[in-house]
Every structure is written in structure tokens, then in C-alpha cells.
Structure 1
Amino acid sequence: MSTEINIEKLYENCIKILTDLIGFKTISGDDNSNLINYCEEYLHKLGATSFKTFDQEKKRVNLFATFKAKKTNGIKPIILSGHTDTVPVSKSWSTDPFKATIKDDKLYGRGACDMKGFIACVLAYAPIYSKVELNRDIHFSFTFDEETACLGAPILIEELKKRKIQDGICIIGEPTKMKIIDAHKGCYEYTTYFEGLAGHSSMPHKGVSAVEFASRYANKLIELRQDLKKRAPKDSIFDPPFSTLQVGGIFGGIAHNVIADKCYIEWETRPVVREDGVFLNQEIDKYANEILLPEMRKVFPNSKITKKIIGEVTGFDRVKNSEACELVSSLTGDNSREVVSFGTEAGLFQEIGMSTVVCGPGSIEQAHKVDEYIELNEIKKCLKFLDGLKKRSALN
């Protein structure tokens, strides 16, 4: 049977699996256990071993499954990694976002592109890996809540460290049109809470307006944004070349004539280098603790400013000689290297010693949008890539 015929049969199975995956409503923060159980049962039937890790509520789950090599001879294992969560949906979809719809050589559905398309591809190819005498372990890593500051992957990675699964090649299947991405900025997300003293607006000196102090905090962040621009590395590979910062929202107050006792700010920064994140946090914390809080407590001693870390996702650094990039290049025939502005779990795997690359089917241009889709040809390209990976992972 020719490789081309195999790819066509795999493609049909992949579409079926992707249809199933889209049917699971795995919006970030929600229970994803049904999808994870589907994947685990599928891989178990093929002979894979696996383990799970959980959030504190035991409702969001990571899965790590493995086909063991017959003989490795020191050849590094492969991790095929994808996140199972999606962003929310709006009411303006032209199709049911949780029902796969094929139209004009595109498959529509929430998560079709980002990134259930990749997960479907690796699951569709799993039966082939299960029948091959492997020269390296093939791992499948499926995580929760990547879209909300990569909350799931750190829990999984801690378990990998305990099991000493750190020396390998990790392929993160985010949508890149099967192009190699070898770097991106970090992504740090925070919410800062202000607690003051409510009162009548006619007596502002007797209250502590959480909204006003939150506004001053936001203005300080905007000032610090200019400092980040000045810190841009001379050889920066990113666009823009400096670390960015933005205030996502300020929420507080209940009426025109009530001094707001509560307010919070959502903000984020995308550091080019870790030191920029350290600098920013030190400066804003100093301003809050040494300037704002003393003023608040002059009027109301129980005033508070509390900064909550939503997530601090480490950046993905370009490596001169990357085993992961070289492997992908040899399979796709494309030697180019690109950087992106969006974040992934790549830096987390890189941080524990994995040679890591971001490469997967679909385009980020279709991610997070109304009527999200993946081009069917992208699925075929990914399956051919996985076929090439099989040939590199089989005993001669």
C-alpha cells in the first residue's frame, strides 16, 4: 500500500476525530475531562501507557501518554504537544461553533485551528506509531487552560521533572501553517485589586476612592511602558523590538454619587527578556507600596492593594543549534525560522531542557475569531509531516 493511500485513509479518520473533538465544549476554565478521557481511551486501545495531572478542583486535566520504544540507542524521545482548551464563542457565528462544518475546503468549528486540528492529526496517526518498532519513545501531551496564561502545562511539567522526562524534542502544534517558529516573547498577566473606603460623593475627603487610586496605578503602568521601549535590545528579533505592556480593563464603582471602595485592574506585559518583567514588577510594586498605599491609609488604615499573578508564561528563546528545528526542517524541507507575537507553552518545555519548536497546521489568522476554521490541506500537510516523523522513529 502506498504512502499516499495511507495518508488519504488517515485524513478521513482525522476528520472524524476532529469532528469529535470540536463537539467537546472545552472553553478555558471549564471541565475538559470528557475530551481527555476520549483521548486516553483512544490511545489505551492502541497500547499506550499514560498518566494524568489535575488542577486543585480535579475538573481540569492534563494527559501524558506514551508509546514505548523497543530499543532507543540513546535517540531522544519526541513529545507531540497540544492544548485542549479554546477561547469562548460569541453569538455571531454563521455555523454551530461546536459542530464541525466543512465548506469550501475548510473545516469550521471552535478550536478547529487553535488547536484541536493538531491533536486530531496526532491521534489519527497514533495507530501507525503503535504498530512500528520504535527507536524512541513517542509521547502525547495534551494540556488544559493554555489560553488563560498556560495554567495547565506547569502542573504537567512538574510531573515530567519528577519522572525525569526532560531530555527530548518537543513539537508544539500551534497553528503556524507548518512553518518553524523558534522564538516568542513571554506573557505575564496580572490583576491588581484596590480596597478603599466607600462614602458620599459630597464628602470625598472622608472616603478613599479605589477607582482614583487604580487610575493612578494605571497611569504609572503607562509611564513604565515608555521605559520598556528604552530597554529594547539592540539585536531584538521581535516586532515591536521592545517589551510591551497594556491595561486590559479597569472595573469599579457602583454609582455617580458613591465613592468607590473597590476597583481592580487587569493588565499584562510581554517581555522580550525576563529582566524586563523583573524590572516592571519591581517598579510598579514600589509605587503601589511606597506612594499609593500610604496615602490611602492616611484616611482609612485598612486600605489594601493586592496584585494577583494570573500567569507568568516564560518566553521562548531562539537557540542557535536547535535539534527540534533541525528535525522539523529535515521533514518539511523548509529551513526558515520565524518569530511570533503570540505566546505558547514552548518556553515552559524549553526551560526544563527540552529542545522545542512550534510548528503545526492552520493559520493563527483564523484563531480566536468568529467562524474559526482550518484549511483541509493543512491537515494533509501535518499528516505527511507525521509520516516523515514515523520514518525517523522506526528501527531499521
Structure 2
Amino acid sequence: MGHEGRFSINSNSCKGVNRSRSCNQWYTRGFKPNYCVIAEPSGYNRIWIGHKGALWAEIIVYGKTAHASTPWLGVNAFEKMVKLANKMFTILKPKIESRTTKYETDIPEGKKATIAIGTIVKGGVKINVIPDKMVFQIDRRVLPEENFEDVIREIENIIEEAKREDPELNAELKVLFKAKPAAIPPEAKLATTLKAIVKDVIKEEPRLTLSTGFLDARFFVEKNVETVTYGPGSISQAHVANEYIEVDKITLVSKAYALLALSLLGK
């Protein structure tokens, strides 16, 4: 059987914005792929056809410093922060987590949009000083069905509502990082072709799911390139001590890669 087209392997250890730059450089040099496979560790029997997005942000709460023996002369930024955070926990968090994606996920809980409030908390300068500034960070995971600007606006709105309830509250949202969600349909050619190949190689039906963590797939999907993530290893091993991948799983996945290339490049 003859083959046509070009097959390329790119090894990139960069992170964040550098990955986006690397993808864009391919396009400026005339390399415009039809398909892309990201070799992140989805697991040998799972293919990620997309991923959630992420918003990392911090909320800065301002107060007025004073000596702790005369707290009425100041405005305790910690006290104001606690009230705002409580409002987010009781009103915003349940509202966000009521939303679910149409895509299958690795576990049922993964179908929800999520927000983690207070992942990092900073503030205060001395035990006997009323804090005039507190900062708490949030991690918001965004579904493919959600609009990113609406996600930001929703958090800003809860802050503004809290301000109306407490005129002394002075707080602002600062966006630190954005990664848009991305997904392709499960019936897309790349997804169905790879699924059939993997099934033949590992002798079981692989799942097509949405990753709860964000991936590099977004850089290609936004350029209308069919993209999946498939690689050996377990995501539970990522960033832990003594990471490992089973050698036999590397062999199986490598075989699937080769058969996929032959299938997509076949005339």
C-alpha cells in the first residue's frame, strides 16, 4: 500500500507560553498538520479527546492597618476576606459545580465544573498588627461548554455583590493564568481510527474521555486540527517521587502510534 503526506515527531520540554510559541512557529514555517497526537500519559487503555480549561486567579482584599490593641482604628482585611470567601463557598461553588459536561470523563466526579478556593492564602505582617491586605488564590476548572469570559465575569459579580452588602469591603480579582478548554467530537476521524487501532492492539475497548487537567491539545484544536492525547503511563504518577511507566505498556502504545500513522497516511 502506498502512502502520502508527512509524519512528524516533536519533542518539547517547554511549559506554558513557550509551548504555544512552539506550536505557532510550526505554522509560520508552513507546517500545518491535519491530525495531532499528544503523548501525555492518558493510560494505554484511555484516549483523551479533550480537556477542561483552567483559570488561575487571586482575589486581593484591602483593609486598613492598625495596632492590634486598637483594632477599631483599622479595617481587618482577614475578616473581610473570610466573609467574601464564605459567600463564594455557599453561593458560587454550588452554582459552578451544578454544571456538567456532555463528554465522558475518567470518573463521574470529573464531569463537573469545579472551583478550589484558597489554594494559597497570604497576608499579615506581624502578630500585633491588623492586616491591611490579604490574598487568596483560586483554581477554576472550565468545561468545554462554558464561555471563558463568562467564567471570569461570574467571579467578578460575586465580589461586586459582596461589596454592595459591605461598603467597607475593598477587593479585586487578578487573573494569573488562562488555559482554554478544548475537545473534538468522539466521532471525529482521528478519535475513531485510533480507538479501533488501540482496541486491536490491547485487546480491549479503550475509553474516549475528557481530561480534568488541561493539556497542550488546546493549541492545535484552536487551529482546527483534530487532536487527541494518548500515551502510556498513569496520570496518578505525574509529578510524584519515583515516577515510572511499565515497559510493556510503552511497547503497546508505540505499536498503536505506528499503526495510526500508517492508517492516516494510507492512500
TM-score, with structure 2 as normaliser: 0.79
- Report the alpha carbon displacement of residue 217 of structure 1 after superposing the two structures with TM: 2.8
Q: Which residue of 2 aligns with 1:174?
A: 40
Q: Which residue of 2 aligns with 1:374?
A: 245
From 99, 104, 112, the equivalent of 1:242 is 112
- Report the alpha carbon displacement of residue 393 of structure 1 after superposing the two structures with TM: 6.8
Q: Deviations over 1:306-327 (max 9, x none)?
A: 4332322222324043122133
Partners of 2:148 and 2:180 lie apart in 1 by: 10
Partners of 1:268 and 1:389 lie apart in 2 by: 36
Q: Whose relative contact order is higher, 1 or 2, with alpha carbons under 8 Å and at least 6 apart? A: 2
Partners of 2:35 and 2:144 lie apart in 1 by: 23
Map 1:65-80 to 2 at 5 A. 72=4
Q: Which residue of 2 aligns with 1:220?
A: 87
- Report the alpha carbon displacement of residue 245 of structure 1 after superposing the two structures with TM: 0.8
User: What's the secondary structure of 2:137's corresponding residue?
Assistant: strand
- Report the alpha carbon displacement of residue 197 of structure 1 after superposing the two structures with TM: 2.5
User: What's the secondary structure of 1:191's corresponding residue?
Assistant: strand
Q: Which residue of 1 aligns with 2:61?
A: 194
Partners of 1:197 and 1:188 lie apart in 2 by: 29
Partners of 1:276 and 1:314 lie apart in 2 by: 9
2:92 alignment partner AA: L
1:316 alignment partner AA: A
Q: Which residue of 1 aligns with 2:226?
A: 355
User: What's the secondary structure of 2:59's corresponding residue?
Assistant: strand
Map 1:120-159 to 2 at 5 A. 135-140=5-10, 142-145=12-15, 150-159=16-25
Paired residues in the alignment total 253
From 72, 78, 89, the equivalent of 1:211 is 78
TM-score, with structure 1 as normaliser: 0.56
- Report the alpha carbon displacement of residue 201 of structure 1 after superposing the two structures with TM: 1.8
User: What's the secondary structure of 2:122's corresponding residue?
Assistant: strand
Q: Which residue of 2 aligns with 1:329?
A: 195
Partners of 1:269 and 1:290 lie apart in 2 by: 19
1:288 alignment partner AA: I
- Report the alpha carbon displacement of residue 356 of structure 1 after superposing the two structures with TM: 0.7
Partners of 2:39 and 2:18 lie apart in 1 by: 16
- Report the alpha carbon displacement of residue 143 of structure 1 after superposing the two structures with TM: 4.8
Please tell me the root mean square deviation across aligned C-alpha atoms, in Å.
3.0
- Report the alpha carbon displacement of residue 196 of structure 1 after superposing the two structures with TM: 3.0
1:208 alignment partner AA: V
- Report the alpha carbon displacement of residue 253 of structure 1 after superposing the two structures with TM: 1.3
2:39 alignment partner AA: G
Partners of 2:266 and 2:97 lie apart in 1 by: 51
Q: Which residue of 1 aligns with 2:129?
A: 258
From 285, 289, 303, the equivalent of 2:156 is 285
8 Å CA contact 1:181–1:340 kept in 2: the answer is: yes
Report percent identity of matched pairs.
23
- Report the alpha carbon displacement of residue 186 of structure 1 after superposing the two structures with TM: 1.8
CA distance 1:394–1:291, change in 2 (3 Å): closer
Question: Is 1:295 the counterpart of 2:167 in the alignment?
Answer: yes
- Report the alpha carbon displacement of residue 170 of structure 1 after superposing the two structures with TM: 1.0
- Report the alpha carbon displacement of residue 173 of structure 1 after superposing the two structures with TM: 0.9
2:174 alignment partner AA: K
More deviation, 275-284/364-373: 275-284
Partners of 1:290 and 1:336 lie apart in 2 by: 43
Q: Which residue of 2 aligns with 1:61?
A: none
Q: Deviations over 1:242-300 (max 9, x none)?
A: 21111113221133321112221111111224536544422321343464398347xxx
CA distance 1:339–1:275, change in 2 (3 Å): closer
User: What's the secondary structure of 1:193's corresponding residue?
Assistant: strand
Question: Is 1:309 the counterpart of 2:178 in the alignment?
Answer: no
User: What's the secondary structure of 1:377's corresponding residue?
Assistant: helix
Partners of 1:138 and 1:370 lie apart in 2 by: 32
- 5+ unaligned residues in a row in structure 1: which ranges? 1-70, 73-134, 298-302
Q: Which residue of 2 aligns with 1:230?
A: 98
User: What's the secondary structure of 1:156's corresponding residue?
Assistant: helix
2:115 alignment partner AA: L
- 5+ unaligned residues in a row in structure 2: which ranges? none
User: What's the secondary structure of 1:319's corresponding residue?
Assistant: coil
Partners of 1:339 and 1:395 lie apart in 2 by: 28
